[in-house]
């Protein structure tokens, strides 16, 4: 399938392009991202090039993963990324350090979730390394229900499955995998702030 473009009041979510390679490489030097996102480490330009010009394009074409660049409307600069893996039904996201704290991520994730629900992905999963407060705050703001702590759905770079917080968000008209009253309170003993 072709990449789907989404817009919000302040943002455009569109396909990653070759012009994003150097910016992504720069953002991914951030040790905070290293500890929260399963990116290669040390992160090199070849990693960004392969991700943008090969993997993200291939995933869109196959319909196996949807990866959006986050940009301010009308501006080309890459701010961060939102991605959704179809097989695991999991959403993930990150922002470059200069763009954190402006409320961009809840806006971007809400747009992606709304489109995913409209495309019949009715139950979306979220996970973040235990302690990743900012990611949890985004998920909570967007309406995800916290379901507990468990190993990660996917492998981390060291082939382990670290402990993660988990949540899900069902479409408004979908039957949830778990009853709403089974949702747990979101963790409040936060230690770090990543997104």
3-state SS class at 164: strand
Paired with 165 in beta bridges are 128, 149
Domains, the chain, with CATH or none: 6-182 (3.40.630.30)
Q: What is the pLDDT along the chain (195 residues), one digit of tens a residue?
A: 899 999 999 999 999 999 999 999 999 998 887 778 878 889 899 999 999 999 999 999 999 999 999 999 999 999 999 999 999 999 999 999 999 989 999 999 999 999 999 999 999 999 998 989 889 999 999 999 999 999 988 777 778 888 999 999 998 754 444 444 456 888 865 444 444
Helices (H) and strands (E) in the chain, counts: 6, 8
Q: What is the pLDDT of residue 177?
A: 44
Give this prediction's pTM. Answer: 0.88
3-state SS class at 113: helix
Name the region of 170 (left: φ>0; alpha: ψ -120 to 50; beta: rest): beta
How many CA atoms lie less than 13 Å away from 148 in the CB half-sphere? Answer: 4
Kind and range of the H or E run holding 83: strand 80-85
Q: What is the pLDDT of residue 65?
A: 96
How far are the Cα atoms of 145, 149, 150 from residue 185, in angstroms, in the given order?
A: 8, 12, 15
Regarding beta strands 90-95 and 123-129, do their DSSP bridges make them parallel or antiparallel, or are they unpaired?
A: parallel
How many beta carbons lie within 10 A of that of residue 161, not counting itself? Answer: 12
Kind and range of the H or E run holding 72: strand 65-72
Regarding beta strands 80-85 and 65-72, do their DSSP bridges make them parallel or antiparallel, or are they unpaired?
A: antiparallel
How many beta carbons lie within 10 A of that of residue 2, not counting itself? Answer: 7
Q: Contact, 171 vs 117, CB < 8 A?
A: yes
Order of strands, sheet of 90-95, starting from the edge strand that comes earlier in the sequence: 6-7, 11-14, 65-72, 80-85, 90-95, 123-129, 163-170, 145-151
Q: Contact, 63 vs 1, CB < 8 A?
A: yes
């Amino acid at each position: 399938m072709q990449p789907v473009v989404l817009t919000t009041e302040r943002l455009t979510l569109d396909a990653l392009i070759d012009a994003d390679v150097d910016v992504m490489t720069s953002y991914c030097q951030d040790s905070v991202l290293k500890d929260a996102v399963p990116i290669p480490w040390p992160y090199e330009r070849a990693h960004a090039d392969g991700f943008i010009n090969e993997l993200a394009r291939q995933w869109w074409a196959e319909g196996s993963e949807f990866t959006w660049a986050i940009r301010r409307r009308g501006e080309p600069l890459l701010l961060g990324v939102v991605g959704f893996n179809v097989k695991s039904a999991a959403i993930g996201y990150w922002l470059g350090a200069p763009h954190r704290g402006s409320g961009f991520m809840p806006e971007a994730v809400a747009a992606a979730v709304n489109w995913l629900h409209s495309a019949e992905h009715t139950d979306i999963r979220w996970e973040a390394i235990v302690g990743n407060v900012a990611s949890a705050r985004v998920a909570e703001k967007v309406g995800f229900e916290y379901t507990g702590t468990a190993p990660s759905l996917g492998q981390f770079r060291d082939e382990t499955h670290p402990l993660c917080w988990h949540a899900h968000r069902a479409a408004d008209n979908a039957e949830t995998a778990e009853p709403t009253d089974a949702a747990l309170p979101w963790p409040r003993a936060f230690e770090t702030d990543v997104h």
